[in-house]
Amino acid sequence: MTQIFAYVPFKNGVAEDVALEFPGAAKKIDAGASVTAVVTGSGADLDKVAGELTKVYSEVIKIDNAAMAYPNAEVVRKALTNIIPAGAIVLVAHDTFGMDLAPGLSIKLESAYAADVVDFEGMDGSTLKIVRQELGGAVSTHVTCDASAGAVLTIRPGTFAPVDGSASGAVVDKSGDAGDLSAKRTFLEVVEAEVGEVDITKSDVLVSIGRGIEDEDNIEIAQELADAMGAVVSCSRPIVDAKWLEKSRQVGTSGQTVKPKVYMAMGISGSFQHMGGIKGNPFIVAVNKNPKAPIFQVADVGIVEDILEFMPALQEAIEAL
Ligand X SMILES: Cc1cc2nc3c(=O)[nH]c(=O)nc-3n(C[C@H](O)[C@H](O)[C@H](O)COP(=O)(O)OP(=O)(O)OC[C@H]3O[C@@H](n4cnc5c(N)ncnc54)[C@H](O)[C@@H]3O)c2cc1C
Binding site for ligand X (CB under 6 A): 136, 210-212, 214, 236-238, 250-255, 267-269, 271, 273-274, 277, 287-290, 293, 306-308
Tell the smallest beta-carbon distance from residue 247 to ligand X (Å).
10
Tell the smallest beta-carbon distance from residue 94 to ligand X (Å).
13
Tell the smallest beta-carbon distance from residue 160 to ligand X (Å).
21
Which CB atom, from 228 or from 303, has the smaller least distance to ligand X? 303
Which CB atom, from 223 or from 254, has the smaller least distance to ligand X? 254
Which residue of the chain is nearest ligand X when measured via CB?
A: 252
Which CB atom, from 108 or from 247, has the smaller least distance to ligand X? 247
Which CB atom, from 202 or from 292, has the smaller least distance to ligand X? 292
d(CA 10, CA 7): 10
C-beta separation of 205 from 261 below 8 A: yes
Sheet holding 205-209, edge to edge: 232-235, 205-209, 262-266, 283-288, 301-304
Tell the smallest beta-carbon distance from residue 138 to ligand X (Å).
9
Which CB atom, from 43 or from 136, has the smaller least distance to ligand X? 136
Tell the smallest beta-carbon distance from residue 245 to ligand X (Å).
12
Tell the smallest beta-carbon distance from residue 225 to ligand X (Å).
13
C-beta separation of 92 from 68 below 8 A: no
Which CB atom, from 158 or from 267, has the smaller least distance to ligand X? 267
